């Protein structure tokens, strides 16, 4: 038998069970792929300009995206100012791409991220350099999703390291506070934490002080993410052999020097996969701010589908939003796999 | 060396100072928050305390496992919500485990095509937010045909925009239950069990989403069993299926159980997304209560307490199970 | 004999209920080489780890260069500056290169300028005969090379005393020699050393004083000639019979 023939026999028809599975899989594909292709490509409407054209075409309504993508991507941000969040996102993606090159891992990268956060915020906020001010209440769509995700991660990460160190501390009070915080937050659903942030923060603050909805949600996301990240970091701390602490002690390094120079660099390397996993979760979880009334990508997509004429084509709209989420998450998980290999190369 | 500087040199003393600072900080922040909250509540004329639990709720709840009317108390309304949360979580856990295990095993089956298909499913589902998936499920369920044109995939099972109707058991005769098949009567079904569209969408969403994660856990667990174990079992003449059932799975379970526990907890913690599609779970009910009474602090505390109990209970159960598995396999 | 650089007096230590060190007394003079041996679990590691306070003792007095070890952080810092330690399992920092391993403490703890620390480090690497490995990571070196780097790292702070806790027992036999050579060289230069080791050839050649421990006590202290020829204690004799007999 020739090679492809042998491969097919081994991998698809090796045993009766195997054959049954193959037949099932083929049947499933036969049932779903042709109708899907027909729907998505052949009978789709690609830009008739109105819901009516979609109804006539009978297939997928890509016209929806052509007509409503700006609302889905930018939410309520003033229409003529869309270039600003677009530019901010472009900068973000460019820096993300730069960060994935080992050559760029220099101190300036951290500075660049700091600068990006400032520049992007100024771009979005406006009020400087002749830009029209735009309140955060008007921010929406993908930029809002990215802002919340990135800020939540950036703020939660150092906080989580402190929590993880606290949890491993010899001082009982510090340990108890850290454990209490971590376990409390991890026992709660994010939704109820976000609700708490949105209904209770206003009560927590002194009279007359208000904080914006977006900031409240951001605080909620950050507190939540930090607890989970702390557990990931703790996993790494636990994996560091005792000898490393002893050697650092014997050399006379202080606690913080030991942590900063010896333990954390090793521990964080070990837990890249769970940390990135947590980043991915955080990114997906930003969609929950929809529930407390923010216009992130998901909520903006939902709003774009609110028009009764477009509503029948919700699958197309959500599919597009799903694709955006998928791209970011998939990129991050692939990146973490690559990073793990790359980092391992250096030391072993 | 001054007295204080000398003291500061002592490691124990430093430890005490750091701890005192942390306690002080926690108390200061906590006290500040409580004071602000009390002032704010007073300013807004909101009552405090759990007294509201005994008052009449005055709102209806669309589905309930126990008899409930708007004339019942807030406490009962919250209980209805809690039972709904428990129901959806329990069912979600069962179905997600079944599907997830099947998919995880199939990803490792020698069948190339099936392994690929399962891989696509896992990647696609894991990388898209659950809430988005719920919106799609809910959209799909509500755009199903009406009761008269209901889909009838299996005998006795009807799928329509009224939800999912399945055969139920009728215990009313006393003694053995009788199978109660649903029938179309006018514009709706009678008999059988009806799952509302919201319930069906939430269950589908939670199940499909969690199953993808469980599949990965099962896969990793099975892969963690050394190859030598499989070879030894095959050498003893066990069949492929027997090897999986008698040798691989019991060992894999030790690796599987801890992350599986956290997935089970995730199902419970994800169930409040119900609020986005209108299924009356605990969080949804408590939100209505907050809107009506303004007593956010108490309601939020109540909900948090309940979820903490569920978390602790479930992890205690799993720890116990885990210990048993670990002991047996030693 | 001048004032001892290390002074251990009536030291007791417990791990919970377990009494590891029982009334341990030992004095080490400047330039003295002490070799500690004894059966496994007798408390050798625990004793030398008390000297730089990797372990806390519960009673008695330990002083290095006149600085008594206790709860005082400054004293501990000062002692750790004066005492270098080499571990059985090397404990090099795997994420730093050999050179970075060596310069870390001088730069971060002693505040030496990086340039200067580097030249000192290179000189030390010459001394342990692996200057060509400076840019590598510990994981890329053999066990013997790693242990020599560890010795160089401990020397970087110019310690007055070196502690060795079974530095060769994690090594393949063919690498033991190269590490012992470095240690002998160090001894010849007049370094004060306390070595826990079962390399009796090395002990005979280098030691000024042999210490035998059993069940948390120092059972015998003697110069090597007397220690090996006519040990006073029955337990020492049995122990020597066992390890030299093989
Ligand atoms: N952290 C600890 N907690 C409890 N007991 C310990 C601890 N460290 C050591 N011990 C016990 O103290 C005793 C002395 O240990 P130590 O490491 O000092 O022995 P040792 O003489 O160095 O032995 P070896 O030759 O095996 O290295 C041993 O019985 C050991 O089990
Ligand atoms: Mg030892």
A327 and A232 in a common domain: yes
Domain boundaries, chain C: 6-91+161-245
Cβ separation B14–C71 shorter than 8 A: no
Q: Nearest CA of chain C to the CA of B21: how many Å?
A: 20
**Taking CB atoms and an 8 Å cutoff, what residues of chain A touch B136?**
314-315, 318
**Taking CB atoms and an 8 Å cutoff, what residues of chain C touch A250?**
52, 54, 80, 83-85, 154
Q: What is the pLDDT of residues B100-151, one digit of tens each?
A: 999 998 888 878 888 999 999 999 999 999 999 999 999 988 888 777 777 7
Give me the residue label for tokens 């702390």: A230
Q: Which residues pair with B185 in a beta bridge?
A: B188
How far is residue B288's CA from residue B298's CA, in Å, rounded to a whole number?
13
Give the number of other Cβ atoms within 10 Å of residue C87's Cβ.
23
For chain B, what is the domain count? 2
Among candidate residues B88, B307, B259, the one with its CA nearest the CA of residue A185 = B307
pLDDT in tens, chain A (348 residues): 577 788 777 777 777 778 888 888 888 888 888 888 888 777 777 777 777 777 777 777 887 777 778 888 888 888 888 888 888 888 888 888 888 777 777 788 888 888 888 888 888 887 777 778 888 778 888 888 988 998 899 899 999 999 999 999 999 999 999 999 998 898 889 998 898 888 888 888 877 777 788 888 999 999 999 999 999 999 999 999 999 999 999 999 999 999 999 999 999 888 888 888 899 999 999 999 988 888 889 998 988 888 887 878 888 889 999 999 999 899 888 888 888 887 776 554
B108 and B207 in a common domain: yes
A145 and A113 in a common domain: no
Is residue C42 within 6 Å of ligand 1 at its C-beta? yes
If you measure CA to CA, which chain A residue comes closest to B283? A192
Q: Measure the CA angle with vertex A54, ends A52 and A59; round to 5°.
A: 155
How far is residue A254's CA from residue C80's CA, in Å, rounded to a whole number?
11
% of chain A surpassing 90 pLDDT: 29
A232 and A327 in a common domain: yes
| Helix ranges, chain B (H) | 3-8, 11-43, 74-108, 112-126, 130-142, 197-223, 227-235, 240-242, 249-270, 274-277, 282-293, 296-328
What pLDDT score does C245 carry? 65
- Write the ipTM: 0.91
Is residue C44 within 6 Å of ligand 1 at its C-beta? yes
Return the CATH number at B229.
Answer: 1.10.3720.10
Cβ separation A24–B124 shorter than 8 A: no
% of chain A surpassing 70 pLDDT: 99
Average pLDDT, chain A: 85
**Taking CB atoms and an 8 Å cutoff, what residues of chain C touch A262?**
93
A165 and A121 in a common domain: no
- To test the contact with chain B by mutation, choose from C70, C74, C76, C80 the residue with the greatest count of B C-beta atoms within 10 A, namely C74
A193 and A162 in a common domain: yes
Cβ separation C73–B12 shorter than 8 A: no
Put simply, the chain B residues between 18 and 77 with a CB less than 8 A from any chain A CB are 18-19, 22-23, 26, 33, 36-37, 39-41, 43
DSSP C192-235: EEEEE---HHHHHHH-SEEEEEETTEEEEEE-HHHHHHS-SSHH
Q: Is the pLDDT of residue C54 over 60?
A: yes
Question: Domain limits at B318?
Answer: 74-127+198-325
Torsion sign over Cα B129, B131, B133, B136: negative
> For residue A277, what are the CA distances in angstroms to A165, A284, B101?
20, 11, 21
A115 and A259 in a common domain: no
Question: Domain limits at A96?
Answer: 81-127
Give me the residue label for tokens 């250096």: A346
Q: Can you identify the CATH homologous superfamily of domain C6-91+161-245? A: P-loop containing nucleotide triphosphate hydrolases (3.40.50.300)
B272 → closest Cβ in A170, A191, A290:
A191
Q: Is residue A7 part of a domain?
A: no
How far is residue A64's CA from residue C80's CA, in Å, rounded to a whole number?
71
B123 and B36 in a common domain: no
What's the mean pLDDT in B198-212?
A: 94
Alpha carbons within 13 A on the beta-carbon side of B300:
19
Return the CATH number at A312.
Answer: 1.10.3720.10
User: Per the confidence metrics, is the pTM higher than 0.90?
Assistant: no
How far is residue A194's CA from residue B273's CA, in Å, rounded to a whole number?
12
As given in the structure block, the two tokens for residue C213 are 């421990």
Ligand 2 centroid, distance to C165 Cα (angstroms) = 6
C77 in reach of chain B (CB within 8 A) = no
Helix (H) or strand (E) holding C86: strand C83-86
Among candidate residues C101, C207, C95, the one with its CA nearest the CA of residue C154 = C101
Residue whose CB lies within 8 A of the most ligand 1 atoms, among C13, C14, C15, C239, for a mutation test: C15
Cβ separation B10–C71 shorter than 8 A: yes
How far is residue B62's CA from residue B279's CA, in Å, rounded to a whole number?
8
Across the A:B interface, residue pairs with CB atoms under 8 Å apart total: 154
C1 in reach of chain B (CB within 8 A) = no
For chain A, what is the domain count? 2
Is residue C223 within 6 Å of ligand 1 at its C-beta? no
Q: Nearest CA of chain A to the CA of B67: how many Å?
A: 26
A192 and A140 in a common domain: yes
């Amino acid at each position: 038998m020739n090679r492809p023939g042998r491969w097919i026999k081994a991998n698809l028809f090796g045993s009766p069970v195997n054959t049954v599975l193959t037949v099932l899989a083929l049947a499933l594909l036969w049932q779903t792929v042709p109708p899907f292709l027909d729907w998505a490509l052949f009978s789709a409407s690609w830009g008739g300009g109105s819901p009516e054209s979609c109804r006539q075409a009978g297939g997928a309504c890509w016209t929806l995206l052509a007509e409503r993508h700006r609302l889905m991507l930018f939410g309520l941000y003033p229409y003529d100012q869309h270039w600003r969040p677009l530019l901010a996102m472009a900068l973000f993606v460019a820096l993300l791409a730069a960060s994935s090159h080992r050559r760029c891992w220099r101190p300036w990268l951290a500075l660049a991220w700091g600068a990006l956060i400032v520049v992007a915020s100024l771009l979005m906020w406006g009020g400087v350099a002749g830009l029209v001010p735009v309140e955060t209440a008007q921010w929406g769509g993908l930029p809002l999703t990215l802002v919340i995700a990135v800020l939540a991660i950036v703020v939660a990460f150092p906080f989580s390291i402190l929590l993880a160190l606290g949890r491993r501390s010899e001082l009982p009070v510090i340990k108890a506070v850290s454990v209490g915080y971590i376990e409390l937050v991890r026992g709660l659903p994010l939704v109820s934490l976000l609700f708490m942030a949105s209904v209770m923060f206003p009560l927590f603050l002194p009279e007359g002080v208000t904080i914006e909805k977006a900031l409240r949600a951001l605080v909620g996301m950050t507190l939540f993410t930090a607890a989970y990240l702390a557990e990931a970091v703790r996993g790494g701390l636990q994996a560091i052999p005792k000898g490393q602490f002893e050697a650092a002690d014997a050399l006379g390094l202080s606690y913080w020097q030991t942590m900063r120079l010896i333990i954390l660099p090793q521990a964080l390397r070990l837990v890249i996969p769970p940390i990135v996993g947590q980043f991915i979760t955080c990114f997906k979880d930003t969609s929950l701010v929809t529930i407390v009334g923010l216009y992130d990508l998901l909520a903006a997509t939902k709003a774009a589908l609110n028009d009764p004429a477009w509503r029948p084509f919700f699958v197309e709209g959500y599919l597009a939003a799903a694709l955006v989420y998928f791209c970011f998450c998939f990129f991050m998980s692939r990146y973490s796999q690559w990073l793990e290999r790359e980092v391992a190369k250096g030391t072993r | 060396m001054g007295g204080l500087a000398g003291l500061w040199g002592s490691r124990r003393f430093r430890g005490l100072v750091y701890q005192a600072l942390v306690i002080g900080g926690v108390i200061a922040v906590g006290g500040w928050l409580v004071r602000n909250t009390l002032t704010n509540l007073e300013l807004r004329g909101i009552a405090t305390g759990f007294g509201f639990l005994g008052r009449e709720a005055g709102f209806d709840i669309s589905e309930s496992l126990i008899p409930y009317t708007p004339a019942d108390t807030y406490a009962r309304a919250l209980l209805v919500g809690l039972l709904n949360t428990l129901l959806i979580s329990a069912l979600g856990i069962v179905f997600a485990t079944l599907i997830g295990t099947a998919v995880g095993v199939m990803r490792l089956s020698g069948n190339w095509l099936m392994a690929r298909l399962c891989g696509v499913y896992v990647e696609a589902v894991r990388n898209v937010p659950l809430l988005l998936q719920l919106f799609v499920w809910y959209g799909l369920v509500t755009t199903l045909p009406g009761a008269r044109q209901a889909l009838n995939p299996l005998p006795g099972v009807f799928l329509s925009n009224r939800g999912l109707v399945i055969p139920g058991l009728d215990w009313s005769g006393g003694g053995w239950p009788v199978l109660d098949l649903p029938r179309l009567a006018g514009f709706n079904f009678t008999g059988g069990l009806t799952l509302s569209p919201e319930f069906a969408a939430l269950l589908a969403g939670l199940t499909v989403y969690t199953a993808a994660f469980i599949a990965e856990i099962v896969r990793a667990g099975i892969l963690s069993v050394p190859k030598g174990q499989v070879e030894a079992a095959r050498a003893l003449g066990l069949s492929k299926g027997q090897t999986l059932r008698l040798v691989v799975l019991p060992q894999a379970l030790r690796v599987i159980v801890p992350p599986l526990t956290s997935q089970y907890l995730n199902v419970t913690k994800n169930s409040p997304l119900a609020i986005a599609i209108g299924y009356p779970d605990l969080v949804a009910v408590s939100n209505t209560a907050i809107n009506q009474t303004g007593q956010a602090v108490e309601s939020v505390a109540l909900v948090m307490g309940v979820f903490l109990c569920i978390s602790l209970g479930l992890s205690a159960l799993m720890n116990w199970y885990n210990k048993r598995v670990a002991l047996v396999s030693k | 004999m001048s004032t001892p650089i290390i002074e251990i007096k009536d030291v007791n230590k417990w791990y919970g209920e377990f009494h590891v060190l029982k009334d341990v007394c030992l004095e080490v003079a400047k330039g003295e080489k002490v070799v500690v041996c004894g059966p496994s679990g007798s408390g050798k590691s625990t004793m030398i780890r008390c000297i730089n306070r990797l372990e806390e003792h519960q009673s008695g007095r330990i002083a290095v260069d006149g600085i008594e070890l206790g709860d005082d952080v400054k004293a501990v810092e000062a002692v750790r500056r004066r005492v270098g330690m080499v571990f059985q399992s090397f404990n090099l920092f795997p994420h730093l290169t050999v050179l970075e391993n060596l310069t870390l403490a001088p730069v971060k703890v002693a505040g030496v300028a990086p340039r200067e620390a580097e030249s000192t480090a290179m000189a030390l690497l010459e001394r342990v005969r692996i200057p060509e490995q400076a840019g590598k990571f510990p994981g890329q070196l053999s066990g013997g090379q790693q242990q020599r780097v560890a010795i160089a790292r401990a020397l970087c702070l110019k310690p007055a005393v070196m502690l060795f806790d079974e530095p060769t027992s994690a090594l393949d036999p063919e690498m033991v020699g190269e590490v012992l050579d470095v240690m002998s060289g160090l001894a010849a230069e007049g370094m004060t050393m306390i070595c826990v080791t079962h390399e009796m050839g090395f002990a005979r050649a280098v030691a000024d004083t042999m210490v035998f421990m059993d069940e948390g006590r120092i059972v015998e202290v003697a110069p090597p000639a007397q220690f090996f020829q006519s040990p006073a204690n029955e337990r020492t004799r049995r122990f020597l019979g066992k390890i030299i007999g093989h």
